Amino acid sequence: MENNNGPISTDLLIIGSGPGGHEAALRASQLGLDVTLAELNKYGGVCVHSGCMPSKALIGATSLAYSMSHAENMGITSSHSIDFTQMNSWKDGVVSQLERQIEKMCRAKKINLLQGAITFLTTTSARLTPPSPHSPRDISFKHAIIATGSRPTELSGFEFDSNNIISSKTALSLKSIPEKLVIVGAGYIGMELSALFAKLGSHVDVIELQHKILPNYEDDISKLVQKHSEHLGINFHFEESVSSWSKSKSRITITTTTPTGDTHDYSCDKIIVAVGRTPVTETLDLDAISLKPDLHGFIPVDNQCRTSISNIFAIGDVAGPPMLAHKASMEGKIAAEAISNKNVISHNASVPSVVFTTPEIGTVGLTKLQAEEEGLDVSIGKVPYSALGRAHLTNEPIGFIRIVSEASTGSVLGGQIVGPSASELIAEIGLAIQSKSTTTDLANTIHAHPTFSELIATAARIASNR
Protein backbone atom coordinates (compact mmCIF):
# COMPACT_ATOMS: atom_id res chain seq x y z
CA MET A 1 0.00 0.00 0.00
CA GLU A 2 1.14 3.56 -0.67
CA ASN A 3 0.49 6.69 1.32
CA ASN A 4 -1.01 9.83 -0.15
CA ASN A 5 2.29 11.71 -0.38
CA GLY A 6 4.99 9.15 -0.97
CA PRO A 7 6.21 7.35 -4.08
CA ILE A 8 3.96 4.89 -5.85
CA SER A 9 4.82 1.45 -7.16
CA THR A 10 2.42 -0.23 -9.59
CA ASP A 11 2.24 -3.00 -12.16
CA LEU A 12 0.55 -0.78 -14.72
CA LEU A 13 0.42 3.00 -15.07
CA ILE A 14 -2.30 4.26 -17.41
CA ILE A 15 -2.13 7.90 -18.49
CA GLY A 16 -5.59 9.20 -19.40
CA SER A 17 -9.05 8.02 -18.31
CA GLY A 18 -10.98 8.33 -21.59
CA PRO A 19 -12.67 5.35 -23.29
CA GLY A 20 -9.34 3.64 -23.88
CA GLY A 21 -7.74 4.43 -20.53
CA HIS A 22 -10.56 3.37 -18.24
CA GLU A 23 -11.36 0.26 -20.31
CA ALA A 24 -7.69 -0.75 -20.09
CA ALA A 25 -7.74 -0.15 -16.34
CA LEU A 26 -10.85 -2.27 -15.78
CA ARG A 27 -9.59 -5.15 -17.94
CA ALA A 28 -6.12 -5.09 -16.38
CA SER A 29 -7.64 -5.16 -12.92
CA GLN A 30 -9.76 -8.16 -13.92
CA LEU A 31 -6.57 -9.89 -15.00
CA GLY A 32 -5.00 -9.40 -11.59
CA LEU A 33 -2.71 -6.43 -12.19
CA ASP A 34 -2.21 -3.61 -9.71
CA VAL A 35 -3.39 -0.60 -11.74
CA THR A 36 -2.81 3.13 -11.35
CA LEU A 37 -4.90 5.43 -13.54
CA ALA A 38 -3.82 9.07 -13.83
CA GLU A 39 -6.08 11.78 -15.28
CA LEU A 40 -5.07 15.37 -16.00
CA ASN A 41 -8.62 16.76 -16.09
CA LYS A 42 -11.90 14.88 -15.50
CA TYR A 43 -12.54 11.15 -15.46
CA GLY A 44 -13.96 10.00 -18.76
CA GLY A 45 -11.80 12.22 -20.93
CA VAL A 46 -12.88 14.09 -24.05
CA CYS A 47 -15.57 11.56 -24.99
CA VAL A 48 -17.58 12.08 -21.82
CA HIS A 49 -16.99 15.78 -21.26
CA SER A 50 -16.52 17.52 -24.60
CA GLY A 51 -17.07 14.98 -27.37
CA CYS A 52 -19.29 11.96 -27.89
CA MET A 53 -21.63 12.29 -24.94
CA PRO A 54 -22.50 16.00 -24.78
CA SER A 55 -22.71 16.28 -28.57
CA LYS A 56 -25.03 13.28 -28.90
CA ALA A 57 -27.14 14.51 -25.98
CA LEU A 58 -27.74 17.82 -27.74
CA ILE A 59 -28.15 16.19 -31.15
CA GLY A 60 -30.72 13.80 -29.72
CA ALA A 61 -32.69 16.57 -28.03
CA THR A 62 -32.74 18.84 -31.06
CA SER A 63 -33.60 15.94 -33.38
CA LEU A 64 -36.59 15.14 -31.19
CA ALA A 65 -37.78 18.73 -31.46
CA TYR A 66 -37.20 18.73 -35.22
CA SER A 67 -39.14 15.48 -35.73
CA MET A 68 -42.07 16.83 -33.70
CA SER A 69 -42.27 19.91 -35.90
CA HIS A 70 -42.09 17.93 -39.17
CA ALA A 71 -44.80 15.31 -38.71
CA GLU A 72 -47.82 17.07 -40.18
CA ASN A 73 -48.28 14.29 -42.76
CA MET A 74 -48.71 11.86 -39.86
CA GLY A 75 -51.47 14.02 -38.37
CA ILE A 76 -49.20 15.53 -35.71
CA THR A 77 -49.11 19.28 -35.39
CA SER A 78 -46.79 20.52 -32.66
CA SER A 79 -45.97 23.93 -31.35
CA HIS A 80 -42.95 23.89 -29.07
CA SER A 81 -40.11 26.09 -27.87
CA ILE A 82 -36.57 25.17 -26.91
CA ASP A 83 -35.35 26.14 -23.45
CA PHE A 84 -31.63 26.08 -24.21
CA THR A 85 -30.68 26.68 -20.58
CA GLN A 86 -32.68 23.64 -19.47
CA MET A 87 -31.33 21.58 -22.39
CA ASN A 88 -27.77 22.38 -21.31
CA SER A 89 -28.60 21.61 -17.69
CA TRP A 90 -29.96 18.20 -18.71
CA LYS A 91 -26.89 17.55 -20.88
CA ASP A 92 -24.51 18.53 -18.08
CA GLY A 93 -26.40 16.25 -15.68
CA VAL A 94 -25.97 13.29 -18.04
CA VAL A 95 -22.25 14.02 -18.40
CA SER A 96 -21.77 14.27 -14.61
CA GLN A 97 -23.59 10.99 -14.11
CA LEU A 98 -21.36 9.23 -16.64
CA GLU A 99 -18.23 10.63 -14.99
CA ARG A 100 -19.38 9.37 -11.59
CA GLN A 101 -20.12 5.92 -13.04
CA ILE A 102 -16.61 5.61 -14.46
CA GLU A 103 -15.02 6.68 -11.18
CA LYS A 104 -17.28 4.31 -9.23
CA MET A 105 -16.43 1.34 -11.47
CA CYS A 106 -12.71 2.01 -11.18
CA ARG A 107 -12.79 2.34 -7.41
CA ALA A 108 -14.86 -0.86 -7.15
CA LYS A 109 -12.03 -2.65 -8.98
CA LYS A 110 -9.46 -1.20 -6.53
CA ILE A 111 -7.85 0.90 -9.25
CA ASN A 112 -5.68 3.66 -7.80
CA LEU A 113 -7.03 6.94 -9.23
CA LEU A 114 -4.70 9.93 -9.41
CA GLN A 115 -5.27 13.51 -10.54
CA GLY A 116 -2.53 15.43 -12.31
CA ALA A 117 -0.05 15.56 -15.19
CA ILE A 118 2.29 12.65 -15.89
CA THR A 119 5.79 13.09 -17.28
CA PHE A 120 8.14 10.21 -17.97
CA LEU A 121 11.47 10.04 -16.13
CA THR A 122 12.66 6.67 -17.45
CA THR A 123 11.03 3.71 -19.19
CA THR A 124 9.97 2.41 -15.79
CA SER A 125 9.31 5.61 -13.85
CA ALA A 126 7.27 8.80 -14.14
CA ARG A 127 6.34 11.87 -12.12
CA LEU A 128 2.84 12.94 -11.19
CA THR A 129 2.33 16.70 -10.82
CA PRO A 130 -1.03 17.07 -9.07
CA PRO A 131 -3.06 20.25 -8.79
CA SER A 132 -1.76 22.79 -6.29
CA PRO A 133 -1.10 22.66 -3.37
CA HIS A 134 -0.20 18.97 -3.55
CA SER A 135 3.41 17.96 -4.07
CA PRO A 136 4.73 15.93 -7.03
CA ARG A 137 4.99 12.15 -6.59
CA ASP A 138 7.21 9.66 -8.34
CA ILE A 139 5.71 6.49 -9.79
CA SER A 140 7.60 3.31 -10.63
CA PHE A 141 5.86 0.90 -13.00
CA LYS A 142 6.41 -2.34 -14.88
CA HIS A 143 4.22 -1.32 -17.82
CA ALA A 144 2.58 1.89 -18.98
CA ILE A 145 -0.26 2.70 -21.36
CA ILE A 146 -0.40 6.15 -22.96
CA ALA A 147 -4.05 7.11 -23.51
CA THR A 148 -3.81 10.89 -23.63
CA GLY A 149 -6.24 11.36 -26.53
CA SER A 150 -6.46 14.39 -28.79
CA ARG A 151 -7.64 18.00 -28.94
CA PRO A 152 -9.25 20.16 -31.64
CA THR A 153 -6.77 21.31 -34.28
CA GLU A 154 -6.15 25.05 -34.53
CA LEU A 155 -5.69 27.02 -37.74
CA SER A 156 -3.00 29.66 -38.02
CA GLY A 157 -4.64 33.06 -37.61
CA PHE A 158 -7.77 31.44 -36.20
CA GLU A 159 -6.49 30.34 -32.79
CA PHE A 160 -9.21 29.52 -30.26
CA ASP A 161 -10.12 32.36 -27.93
CA SER A 162 -13.26 30.79 -26.36
CA ASN A 163 -15.33 33.78 -27.47
CA ASN A 164 -15.06 34.56 -31.18
CA ILE A 165 -13.09 31.61 -32.61
CA ILE A 166 -14.23 28.52 -30.78
CA SER A 167 -13.57 24.78 -30.84
CA SER A 168 -16.12 21.98 -30.88
CA LYS A 169 -15.56 21.71 -27.12
CA THR A 170 -16.59 25.31 -26.52
CA ALA A 171 -19.46 25.01 -29.01
CA LEU A 172 -21.00 22.29 -26.85
CA SER A 173 -20.99 24.53 -23.78
CA LEU A 174 -22.39 27.77 -25.22
CA LYS A 175 -24.91 29.48 -22.95
CA SER A 176 -26.99 30.92 -25.78
CA ILE A 177 -27.84 29.99 -29.36
CA PRO A 178 -25.87 32.03 -31.93
CA GLU A 179 -28.08 33.83 -34.41
CA LYS A 180 -25.48 33.43 -37.17
CA LEU A 181 -22.75 30.84 -37.18
CA VAL A 182 -19.85 30.01 -39.51
CA ILE A 183 -18.37 26.52 -39.29
CA VAL A 184 -14.96 25.95 -40.88
CA GLY A 185 -14.72 22.34 -42.00
CA ALA A 186 -17.35 19.94 -43.36
CA GLY A 187 -15.92 16.76 -41.88
CA TYR A 188 -17.91 14.68 -39.42
CA ILE A 189 -17.54 17.13 -36.51
CA GLY A 190 -18.46 20.14 -38.64
CA MET A 191 -21.46 18.34 -40.12
CA GLU A 192 -22.78 17.16 -36.76
CA LEU A 193 -22.47 20.67 -35.31
CA SER A 194 -24.01 22.32 -38.37
CA ALA A 195 -27.15 20.15 -38.12
CA LEU A 196 -27.32 20.66 -34.36
CA PHE A 197 -27.28 24.46 -34.55
CA ALA A 198 -29.50 24.61 -37.63
CA LYS A 199 -32.15 22.69 -35.67
CA LEU A 200 -31.68 25.12 -32.79
CA GLY A 201 -32.50 27.98 -35.18
CA SER A 202 -29.07 29.34 -36.08
CA HIS A 203 -28.29 30.57 -39.59
CA VAL A 204 -25.35 28.31 -40.51
CA ASP A 205 -22.68 28.77 -43.19
CA VAL A 206 -20.20 25.91 -43.67
CA ILE A 207 -16.87 26.61 -45.37
CA GLU A 208 -15.00 23.62 -46.79
CA LEU A 209 -11.63 23.60 -48.55
CA GLN A 210 -12.52 20.58 -50.67
CA HIS A 211 -15.33 20.16 -53.22
CA LYS A 212 -17.83 18.30 -51.04
CA ILE A 213 -18.90 17.62 -47.47
CA LEU A 214 -17.54 14.58 -45.62
CA PRO A 215 -14.54 14.26 -47.96
CA ASN A 216 -13.60 10.82 -46.63
CA TYR A 217 -16.95 9.30 -47.58
CA GLU A 218 -18.24 8.07 -50.93
CA ASP A 219 -20.05 10.59 -53.11
CA ASP A 220 -23.52 9.04 -52.82
CA ILE A 221 -23.31 9.28 -49.03
CA SER A 222 -21.99 12.85 -49.05
CA LYS A 223 -24.57 14.05 -51.57
CA LEU A 224 -27.49 12.56 -49.66
CA VAL A 225 -26.42 14.14 -46.36
CA GLN A 226 -25.69 17.45 -48.10
CA LYS A 227 -29.15 17.50 -49.69
CA HIS A 228 -30.84 16.91 -46.34
CA SER A 229 -28.56 19.46 -44.65
CA GLU A 230 -29.60 22.06 -47.20
CA HIS A 231 -33.22 21.26 -46.31
CA LEU A 232 -32.27 22.26 -42.75
CA GLY A 233 -31.19 25.65 -44.11
CA ILE A 234 -27.43 25.04 -43.99
CA ASN A 235 -25.43 26.93 -46.65
CA PHE A 236 -22.28 25.33 -48.06
CA HIS A 237 -19.32 27.11 -49.60
CA PHE A 238 -16.86 24.71 -51.24
CA GLU A 239 -13.26 25.14 -52.36
CA GLU A 240 -12.79 28.17 -50.18
CA SER A 241 -10.00 28.67 -47.64
CA VAL A 242 -10.30 30.98 -44.66
CA SER A 243 -7.81 33.83 -44.83
CA SER A 244 -8.69 36.37 -42.13
CA TRP A 245 -11.33 37.61 -39.71
CA SER A 246 -12.24 40.81 -37.97
CA LYS A 247 -14.72 41.92 -35.33
CA SER A 248 -16.94 44.96 -35.12
CA LYS A 249 -19.26 45.90 -32.26
CA SER A 250 -22.08 43.78 -33.60
CA ARG A 251 -20.62 40.94 -35.67
CA ILE A 252 -17.58 38.95 -36.73
CA THR A 253 -16.61 38.98 -40.41
CA ILE A 254 -14.66 36.06 -41.84
CA THR A 255 -12.98 36.34 -45.23
CA THR A 256 -12.34 33.38 -47.53
CA THR A 257 -10.34 32.94 -50.73
CA THR A 258 -11.14 30.76 -53.75
CA PRO A 259 -8.55 28.98 -55.93
CA THR A 260 -8.97 31.76 -58.52
CA GLY A 261 -8.17 34.46 -55.96
CA ASP A 262 -11.70 35.73 -55.39
CA THR A 263 -12.65 36.65 -51.82
CA HIS A 264 -15.93 36.30 -49.94
CA ASP A 265 -17.04 37.76 -46.62
CA TYR A 266 -19.42 36.06 -44.18
CA SER A 267 -20.77 37.70 -41.04
CA CYS A 268 -21.61 35.76 -37.89
CA ASP A 269 -21.67 35.77 -34.09
CA LYS A 270 -19.28 32.83 -33.65
CA ILE A 271 -16.79 30.92 -35.79
CA ILE A 272 -16.40 27.22 -35.05
CA VAL A 273 -13.17 25.73 -36.41
CA ALA A 274 -13.66 22.00 -36.95
CA VAL A 275 -10.79 20.87 -39.16
CA GLY A 276 -9.69 17.77 -37.28
CA ARG A 277 -8.01 16.71 -34.08
CA THR A 278 -4.38 16.69 -32.94
CA PRO A 279 -2.87 13.98 -30.68
CA VAL A 280 -1.82 15.12 -27.20
CA THR A 281 1.75 14.11 -26.35
CA GLU A 282 3.50 17.33 -25.30
CA THR A 283 2.68 16.82 -21.60
CA LEU A 284 4.53 13.49 -21.40
CA ASP A 285 8.19 14.42 -22.08
CA LEU A 286 8.62 11.55 -24.53
CA ASP A 287 12.21 12.67 -25.15
CA ALA A 288 13.08 11.35 -21.70
CA ILE A 289 12.38 7.82 -22.93
CA SER A 290 13.43 8.36 -26.57
CA LEU A 291 9.92 7.68 -27.85
CA LYS A 292 9.32 9.69 -31.01
CA PRO A 293 5.92 10.44 -32.55
CA ASP A 294 5.55 10.31 -36.33
CA LEU A 295 5.25 13.35 -38.61
CA HIS A 296 1.58 13.76 -37.68
CA GLY A 297 2.22 13.56 -33.94
CA PHE A 298 0.92 10.01 -33.46
CA ILE A 299 2.83 7.37 -31.50
CA PRO A 300 3.56 4.35 -33.75
CA VAL A 301 2.39 1.00 -32.33
CA ASP A 302 2.19 -2.63 -33.43
CA ASN A 303 -0.94 -4.80 -33.60
CA GLN A 304 -0.88 -5.22 -29.82
CA CYS A 305 -0.64 -1.44 -29.27
CA ARG A 306 2.99 -1.76 -28.15
CA THR A 307 5.33 1.15 -28.91
CA SER A 308 9.00 0.82 -29.83
CA ILE A 309 9.62 0.47 -26.08
CA SER A 310 8.49 -3.03 -25.16
CA ASN A 311 6.84 -2.21 -21.82
CA ILE A 312 5.08 0.97 -22.98
CA PHE A 313 1.85 0.91 -24.99
CA ALA A 314 -0.24 3.61 -26.69
CA ILE A 315 -3.96 3.44 -27.45
CA GLY A 316 -6.78 5.54 -28.85
CA ASP A 317 -6.40 8.86 -30.64
CA VAL A 318 -2.76 9.30 -29.64
CA ALA A 319 -1.90 6.03 -31.43
CA GLY A 320 -3.37 7.14 -34.75
CA PRO A 321 -6.53 6.95 -36.81
CA PRO A 322 -9.30 6.06 -36.88
CA MET A 323 -9.78 8.47 -33.98
CA LEU A 324 -12.86 6.83 -32.49
CA ALA A 325 -13.90 6.19 -28.90
CA HIS A 326 -14.87 2.56 -29.51
CA LYS A 327 -11.56 1.89 -31.26
CA ALA A 328 -9.81 3.27 -28.17
CA SER A 329 -11.86 0.98 -25.91
CA MET A 330 -10.95 -2.05 -28.01
CA GLU A 331 -7.27 -1.12 -27.96
CA GLY A 332 -7.39 -0.59 -24.19
CA LYS A 333 -8.55 -4.16 -23.69
CA ILE A 334 -5.99 -5.49 -26.18
CA ALA A 335 -3.12 -3.65 -24.48
CA ALA A 336 -4.19 -4.89 -21.04
CA GLU A 337 -4.39 -8.47 -22.30
CA ALA A 338 -1.05 -8.23 -24.14
CA ILE A 339 0.56 -7.00 -20.92
CA SER A 340 -0.94 -10.07 -19.24
CA ASN A 341 0.73 -12.26 -21.90
CA LYS A 342 -2.43 -13.13 -23.77
CA ASN A 343 -2.16 -13.73 -27.52
CA VAL A 344 -4.35 -10.92 -28.88
CA ILE A 345 -4.17 -8.52 -31.81
CA SER A 346 -6.29 -5.57 -32.94
CA HIS A 347 -8.85 -5.98 -35.75
CA ASN A 348 -9.20 -2.57 -37.37
CA ALA A 349 -11.04 -4.06 -40.38
CA SER A 350 -14.19 -4.40 -38.28
CA VAL A 351 -14.02 -1.05 -36.48
CA PRO A 352 -17.19 0.86 -37.45
CA SER A 353 -17.36 4.59 -38.04
CA VAL A 354 -20.59 6.47 -37.35
CA VAL A 355 -21.62 10.07 -37.94
CA PHE A 356 -24.69 11.50 -36.23
CA THR A 357 -25.74 13.72 -39.10
CA THR A 358 -29.29 13.89 -40.43
CA PRO A 359 -29.60 11.17 -41.61
CA GLU A 360 -27.04 9.10 -39.71
CA ILE A 361 -24.06 7.40 -41.36
CA GLY A 362 -22.54 4.06 -40.42
CA THR A 363 -19.63 2.43 -42.26
CA VAL A 364 -17.33 -0.51 -41.62
CA GLY A 365 -14.72 -2.42 -43.57
CA LEU A 366 -13.95 -1.79 -47.23
CA THR A 367 -15.74 0.32 -49.80
CA LYS A 368 -16.21 -1.00 -53.34
CA LEU A 369 -13.26 1.07 -54.58
CA GLN A 370 -10.98 -0.04 -51.75
CA ALA A 371 -11.82 -3.70 -52.35
CA GLU A 372 -11.16 -3.37 -56.08
CA GLU A 373 -7.85 -1.61 -55.37
CA GLU A 374 -6.88 -4.71 -53.38
CA GLY A 375 -7.54 -6.77 -56.47
CA LEU A 376 -10.76 -8.37 -55.28
CA ASP A 377 -13.70 -9.28 -57.50
CA VAL A 378 -16.57 -7.47 -55.80
CA SER A 379 -20.30 -8.05 -55.57
CA ILE A 380 -22.54 -5.25 -54.29
CA GLY A 381 -25.97 -5.35 -52.68
CA LYS A 382 -27.62 -1.94 -52.34
CA VAL A 383 -31.15 -1.24 -51.12
CA PRO A 384 -32.89 2.12 -50.54
CA TYR A 385 -34.73 2.77 -47.29
CA SER A 386 -37.78 3.62 -49.40
CA ALA A 387 -38.12 -0.11 -50.17
CA LEU A 388 -38.68 -0.85 -46.48
CA GLY A 389 -42.02 -0.76 -44.71
CA ARG A 390 -40.54 0.31 -41.37
CA ALA A 391 -38.97 3.40 -42.94
CA HIS A 392 -42.41 4.60 -44.07
CA LEU A 393 -43.98 3.73 -40.71
CA THR A 394 -41.50 6.03 -38.97
CA ASN A 395 -41.78 8.76 -41.63
CA GLU A 396 -38.10 8.35 -42.55
CA PRO A 397 -37.82 6.72 -46.02
CA ILE A 398 -34.47 8.40 -46.74
CA GLY A 399 -31.15 6.67 -47.35
CA PHE A 400 -29.72 3.31 -48.37
CA ILE A 401 -27.69 0.35 -47.21
CA ARG A 402 -24.87 -1.21 -49.22
CA ILE A 403 -23.02 -4.45 -48.57
CA VAL A 404 -19.66 -5.08 -50.23
CA SER A 405 -18.71 -8.73 -50.63
CA GLU A 406 -16.22 -10.91 -52.47
CA ALA A 407 -18.01 -12.31 -55.52
CA SER A 408 -16.41 -15.76 -55.52
CA THR A 409 -16.78 -16.57 -51.81
CA GLY A 410 -19.55 -14.27 -50.63
CA SER A 411 -17.33 -13.07 -47.77
CA VAL A 412 -18.56 -9.77 -46.35
CA LEU A 413 -15.88 -7.13 -46.87
CA GLY A 414 -17.66 -3.96 -45.82
CA GLY A 415 -20.85 -2.00 -45.57
CA GLN A 416 -22.12 1.56 -45.82
CA ILE A 417 -25.41 2.76 -44.36
CA VAL A 418 -26.92 6.22 -44.52
CA GLY A 419 -30.34 6.55 -42.97
CA PRO A 420 -32.28 6.15 -39.70
CA SER A 421 -30.54 3.98 -37.06
CA ALA A 422 -27.43 3.57 -39.23
CA SER A 423 -25.29 3.84 -36.10
CA GLU A 424 -27.03 0.77 -34.66
CA LEU A 425 -27.42 -1.29 -37.84
CA ILE A 426 -23.75 -1.14 -38.83
CA ALA A 427 -22.80 -3.49 -35.96
CA GLU A 428 -24.30 -6.49 -37.75
CA ILE A 429 -22.11 -5.95 -40.78
CA GLY A 430 -19.11 -5.46 -38.50
CA LEU A 431 -19.90 -8.79 -36.85
CA ALA A 432 -20.09 -10.43 -40.27
CA ILE A 433 -16.61 -9.14 -41.13
CA GLN A 434 -15.18 -10.12 -37.74
CA SER A 435 -16.66 -13.64 -37.86
CA LYS A 436 -15.83 -14.11 -41.57
CA SER A 437 -19.49 -14.59 -42.43
CA THR A 438 -20.88 -14.53 -45.96
CA THR A 439 -23.75 -12.73 -47.60
CA THR A 440 -25.57 -16.07 -47.60
CA ASP A 441 -25.21 -16.21 -43.81
CA LEU A 442 -26.75 -12.75 -43.53
CA ALA A 443 -29.50 -13.52 -46.03
CA ASN A 444 -30.42 -16.73 -44.21
CA THR A 445 -30.57 -15.01 -40.82
CA ILE A 446 -34.21 -14.31 -39.99
CA HIS A 447 -34.68 -10.63 -39.27
CA ALA A 448 -37.74 -9.46 -37.39
CA HIS A 449 -40.48 -7.65 -39.30
CA PRO A 450 -41.09 -4.76 -39.55
CA THR A 451 -37.60 -3.50 -38.65
CA PHE A 452 -34.83 -1.48 -40.25
CA SER A 453 -32.54 -4.52 -39.98
CA GLU A 454 -34.48 -6.25 -42.75
CA LEU A 455 -32.54 -4.03 -45.14
CA ILE A 456 -29.37 -5.94 -44.27
CA ALA A 457 -30.91 -9.28 -45.25
CA THR A 458 -32.25 -7.78 -48.48
CA ALA A 459 -28.91 -6.22 -49.41
CA ALA A 460 -27.19 -9.51 -48.63
CA ARG A 461 -29.58 -11.39 -50.93
CA ILE A 462 -28.85 -8.96 -53.74
CA ALA A 463 -25.08 -9.24 -53.19
CA SER A 464 -25.34 -13.05 -53.32
CA ASN A 465 -27.50 -12.93 -56.48
CA ARG A 466 -30.49 -14.34 -54.67
Query: Which active-site residues does the annotation give?
Result: 449
Sort 91 into a burial class: Cβ within 10 Å, 0-12 / 13-18 / 19+.
buried
H-only helix segments in 37-177: 45-50, 52-68, 84-108, 168-171
Residue type, 389: G
From CA 183, how far away is CA 189, in angstroms rounded?
A: 10
Q: Is the dihedral of CA 302, 350, 52, 160 positive or negative?
A: positive
In terms of Cα–Cα distance, which of 31, 1, 2 is closest to 12? Answer: 31
Helix (H, G, I), strand (E, B) or coil at 301: coil
Asked if residues 110 and 33 have their Cβ atoms less than 8 Å apart, the reply is no
From CA 206, how far away is CA 239, in angstroms rounded?
A: 11
3-state secondary structure 216-276: CCCHHHHHHHHHHHHHCCCEEEECCEEEEEEECCCCEEEEEECCCCCEEEEEECEEEECCC
If residue 359 lies in a helix (H) or strand (E), which one and from where to where?
none
| Side-chain-side CA neighbours of residue 97 (13 Å) | 9
Asked if residues 114 and 128 have their Cβ atoms less than 8 Å apart, the reply is yes
From CA 341, how far away is CA 344, in angstroms rounded?
A: 9
Residues contacting residue 405 through CB under 8 Å, at least 6 positions apart: 378, 379, 380, 381, 411, 412, 413, 438, 439, 460, 463, 464
Residue type, 463: A
Beta strand 412-418 with 117-122 is unpaired
From CA 401, how far away is CA 87, in angstroms rounded?
A: 33
